[in-house]
Amino acid sequence: METSSVARRLSTRFVAGETLDDALAVARKLNAEGITVTLDHLGESVSTLDEAAEARDVYLRTLDAIHLKAIQGNVSLKLTQFGLDLSGEQCLANVDRLVRRAAEIGSFVRVDMESSAYTDRTLDLVHTLHGRHGAVGVVIQSYLHRSQADIEKLCGARIRVRLCKGAYLEPAAVAFPRKSDVDKSYLDLSRYLLENGVYPAVATHDEAVIRQTCRFVADQQIPLDSFEFQMLYGIRRDVQRRLVAEGYRVRLYVPFGKAWYPYYMRRLAERPANVFFMLRNIFRR
């Protein structure tokens, strides 16, 4: 799959390429369209601390390249890629180096949220590093029952939040099983963030949610430069361009790296709905 010509054409729709230079080239094109980026080096769980250190070093090079080449962008990471399953202490040290470097150059690190098994450890690490350096934010998933309380605490600490619906298969004990409940939670949490958060990121491709968010922003007279919409590279370019034309800030999550096949398979395996989401956007004009 990773070497076939058909699969590589498929991957280029949603992945910038295998190298940092590939990602930077995509980032420059997006910046020229008025879109900022978040670069993500693919590769989630690691099996050794040496691999975690390699991931850290790739991210350090990415941050420096973004700064040196004046790219309008930042980075995001998963803690399992930085060794969380192997050593909480070493994972913290790895991410600390990255966040410290981001603070030095005026950049930013977003810590992605993984399954609910990692939520407490992820939030603890982000609160710790924000207290040390600033320059770090986190992702919150609206389908978790706990997310309202988590967001209130993050807003109180002035930590930036990226809100998404959530892609992992979770039990009903921790997450809303019905889409309607997830959507309602998303709208409630996004409105709370828009009024109380620090430069929140509204991460969605749901056009109904986007329309309702835009109406809320207009009704409450929320400045358009006080938040941003976030989407995935290769998904709904028509919506992205329209939002930019209307004066909204838009940022794309741009993955790169050789581990694109596990990235795809994980997304598809986590929730069956992701299969149809990807297929719709492969054939969407």
Catalytic center residues: 112, 162
Q: Are strands 201-203 and 161-164 parallel, antiparallel or unpaired?
A: parallel
The single-letter DSSP state of residue 175 is B
Cα separation, 23 vs 257, whole angstroms: 9
Cα separation, 28 vs 161, whole angstroms: 25
CB 224 within 8 A of CB 194: no
Which residues make Cβ contacts (< 8 Å) with residue 253, sequence separation at least 6? 37, 38, 40, 76, 203, 230, 231, 232, 233
CB 154 within 8 A of CB 140: yes
Instruction: Please provide residue 59's backbone torsions phi and psi, each rounded to the nearest 5 degrees.
Output: -70, -35
Instruction: State both tokens at 207.
Output: 């056009």
H-assigned helices in 160-206? 179-196
CB 39 within 8 A of CB 254: yes
Would you tell me how many other CB atoms lie within 10 Å of the CB of residue 115? 16
16 burial type by CB count under 10 A (0-12 exposed, 13-18 middle, 19+ buried): buried
Q: How far apart are the first and last CA of the chain?
A: 25
51 burial type by CB count under 10 A (0-12 exposed, 13-18 middle, 19+ buried): middle
